[in-house]
C-alpha cells in the first residue's frame, strides 16, 4: 500500500475522481474537450497532488501540494455547477457529486490546516510544521520513553518521525 493510500483526504478525493470519470462518460461528445476534460483534470489533480505531496521532504512541501489540491477542488466545484446549470449534469447526479466534493474538500482542508498545529522532530532536525493527528493515528504504537508520541516513517525520505508536545499543548 502506498503511503498516500493511508490518508483519508486522498481516499475521498480518489472516490470523487472515480465518480467524476463515471458521470462524465455520459456527457455529450461536444463537451469532450470542454467540460468533460476540465472536470476530469480537476478531479484527478485533487487526488494526484495529495499523492505527490506525500513523497516530498516535509510538511511545508506537503502543505504546498495540499494547497494545489484545494484549488483543484474549487475548480471542480465550479465546473460541476456549470455543467448542472447547462443541464449537462442532472440535478440528482450533481447532488451526489457535490456531497462527495464536500467530504473530499473538508478532509483536505483539515489536513492542510493541521500541518501547523504541532511541532515535529525528525532524525534530520526539527520540523516547524506538523503531521495531522489523523495520520499520526496510523503510525506505530511503539513508544520510546523520551518522546511524547512515537511513530514510524511517514514520508519515504524521513527515516524517523516522532512528535513532542510544545509548552502550549495540553497534556
Summarised one tens digit per residue, pLDDT across range 117-129 is 554 444 443 433 4
- All cell numbers assigned to 72: 483543484
Q: Is residue 160 part of a domain?
A: no
Per the structure, the count of domains in the chain is: 1
In sequence order, the β-bridge partners of residue 121 are 126, 162
Q: Give the residue-averaged pLDDT of 50-63.
A: 91
Q: Is residue 16 part of a domain?
A: yes
pLDDT at residue 2, rounded to an integer = 83
Of the pLDDT bands very low, low, confident and very high (cuts 50, 70, 90), residue 1 is: confident
CB 56 within 8 A of CB 68: no
123 within domain boundaries: no
Domain interval for residue 60 = 3-114
pLDDT given at position 158: 35
> Is the whole model's pTM more than 0.85, yes or no?
no
The reply to whether 144 falls in a domain is no
Note the pLDDT of residue 90. 95
Within a domain: 29 = yes
Residue 74's pLDDT is 97
**Residue 41 is part of a domain; what is its CATH number?**
1.20.1440.60
| CA 143 – CA 92 distance, rounded (Å) | 49
In a domain, 33, yes or no: yes
Per-residue pLDDT, 133:
52
* Within a domain: 134: no
Four-CA torsion 20, 134, 119, 60, nearest 10 degrees:
-10
> pLDDT tens for residues 62-116?
999 999 999 999 999 999 999 999 999 999 999 999 999 999 999 999 999 988 7
Beta-bridged to residue 20, according to DSSP, are none
- Residues 46-57 have a mean pLDDT of 93
Map residue 49 onto helix, strand or coil: helix
135 is a domain residue: no
Question: pLDDT per residue over 3-44, tens digit each?
Answer: 889 999 999 999 999 999 999 999 999 989 999 999 999 999
Amino acid at each position: 500500500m502506498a503511503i498516500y493510500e493511508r490518508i483519508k483526504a486522498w481516499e475521498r478525493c480518489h472516490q470523487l475522481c472515480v465518480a467524476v470519470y463515471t458521470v462524465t462518460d455520459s456527457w455529450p461528445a461536444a463537451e469532450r474537450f470542454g467540460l468533460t476534460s476540465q472536470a476530469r483534470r480537476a478531479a484527478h489533480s485533487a487526488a494526484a497532488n495529495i499523492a505527490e505531496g506525500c513523497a516530498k521532504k516535509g510538511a511545508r512541501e506537503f502543505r504546498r501540494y495540499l494547497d494545489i489540491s484545494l484549488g483543484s477542488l474549487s475548480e471542480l466545484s465550479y465546473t460541476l455547477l456549470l455543467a448542472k446549470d447547462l443541464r449537462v449534469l442532472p440535478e440528482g447526479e450533481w447532488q451526489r457529486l457535490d456531497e462527495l466534493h464536500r467530504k473530499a474538500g473538508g478532509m483536505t482542508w483539515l489536513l492542510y490546516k493541521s500541518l501547523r498545529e504541532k511541532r515535529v522532530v525528525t532524525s534530520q532536525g526539527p520540523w516547524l510544521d506538523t503531521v495531522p493527528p489523523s495520520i499520526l493515528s496510523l503510525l506505530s504504537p511503539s513508544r520510546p520513553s523520551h518522546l511524547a508520541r512515537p511513530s514510524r516513517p511517514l514520508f519515504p525520505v524521513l527515516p524517523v518521525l516522532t512528535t513532542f508536545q510544545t509548552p502550549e499543548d495540553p497534556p
